[in-house]
Structure formats: structure tokens, C-alpha cells
Amino acid sequence: MSAIPKERMTVEEFLAWSERAPERYELVDGLVFAQAAERAAHAKIKGEVFVALREAIRRGSLRCRALPDGMAVRIDARTVYEPDAQVYCGPELPADALLSENPIIVVEVISPSTGRNDALRKLEGYFRLPSVRHYLILSPDEPLLIHHARGEGETIVTRIFRSGVVALDPPGLKLDLTEIYGAAAPEDPAGRILERDL
């Protein structure tokens, strides 16, 4: 396993180093951080949201593409995040691309070790990119999607979904939570999820 460099790196230095690294890493303010091991629930939801995004693109006949984790997003000259899924629109990326330069939707599935970072640092970082219109944070343990959308000016509008369809416009996607979490528990009139007997 490659030792994590101690010196601060640029994005270009990080990408050259990480291509040879056996594990997954992110670059934050020039420092390299290893990605935590994933629980099965995390990996499952990450896969389901990628498939749901890809199918929503197909249904909408959009000129966009969904990518699973593994494709990096440059935030600035010394910061690179690797979202759990993303969507970009326009021409297809070159086969040898290491960065997705203009994502329109980025997705993170929270874990005990990343929840605070996903909700704070990455929220601020992703919205520094003019192309990002939607940042989705999903729970791996229960039907829960937090949708941060770019509003007017500096405004970010946040909505919380436990069921239903999330409209992501632009680019015009409709993301059904049942495609990610399966059949949800029935809702009461107040919108809370009720427990059900198994």
C-alpha cells in the first residue's frame, strides 16, 4: 500500500499519485485523506442511486450521463472530492479522463465517519462549482434524502424527502425514492414514516 504523502499537493500531483494508489483517497486543501471502509448498506444505496440516476436520464431522453463513485471532482487547485455518484450533461468525457469538470448533480451517501464532512465542508465545496445545481445526501440506513438545490444568487434551498419523487431541474430528472430504497413504509397524513409489522 502506498504511504499517504505528508506534503501538500496540487490536484495534478494528487491525480498522478492516486492513479498508482490501491485505495481511494480525496484531497482537501492539499492534504491526502484515505476513504473509510464501507458497510454493505452504504455500498448498496450508493449502487442503487447510481442506477436510479442512470434510468431517470434514459426515461427523460437527456443528453446527460450518470457516473458511479471513482470519478473525481475538482473543487479548487488543492481540493478533489470523489462523490458516491454524479451526473454531468453534454459531450461524453474522454475515456482517459480522471476528473469530471462540470457535474450538475453530486451525491454522497453518509456514513458514521463522513456525515459531518458531507453536511458541511462538501456542501460548501460542491456549490463553489458553478455547474452544480443539486447536492443529494442519502442515508444508508433508512429512506432519507436531503436535497440541496442552487437557488437565486447565493441561496441554497434544502428539502427533505422520505418518500416520493425528487425533481432535479435542470436537467429535468425525476428521481423516485422507491427505486433507491424499495417500497417505503406507509406514511401518515403528517408525512412521518410509520413503523410496520414484518
Domain holding 45, by residue range, is 39-72+82-181
> Higher confidence at residue 175 or residue 191?
175
Q: Apex CA 137: angle with CA 136 and CA 138, to 5°?
A: 115
Range 62-76 average pLDDT: 96
Please, which pLDDT band fits residue 184 given cuts at 50, 70 and 90?
low
pLDDT value for 190? 34
Specify if 104 maps to a domain.
Answer: yes
Strand partners, 137: 108, 146
Q: Which residues, at least 6 apart from 46, have a Cβ–Cβ distance to it below 8 Å?
A: 38, 68, 69, 84, 85, 109, 140
Specify if 156 maps to a domain.
Answer: yes
Range 51-63 average pLDDT: 97
What is the tens place of the pLDDT at every residue in 78-97? 999 999 999 999 999 999 99
Specify if 126 maps to a domain.
Answer: yes
Specify if 121 maps to a domain.
Answer: yes
CB atoms within 10 A of CB 25: 19
Specify if 167 maps to a domain.
Answer: yes
Specify if 48 maps to a domain.
Answer: yes
CA distance 149 to 154: 11
Nearest to 193 by CA among 167, 147, 160: 160
Specify if 25 maps to a domain.
Answer: no
To the nearest whole number, what is the mean pLDDT of the chain? 89
Res. 136: pLDDT tops 50: yes
Q: How many domains does the chain have?
A: 1
Range 147-153 average pLDDT: 94
Please, which pLDDT band fits residue 2 given cuts at 50, 70 and 90?
low
pTM for the whole structure: 0.88
* CA-CA-CA-CA torsion sign (94, 9, 6, 25): negative
Range 34-49 average pLDDT: 92
* CATH number, domain with residue 111: 3.90.1570.10
pLDDT value for 55? 97
Specify if 198 maps to a domain.
Answer: no
Res. 1: pLDDT tops 70: no
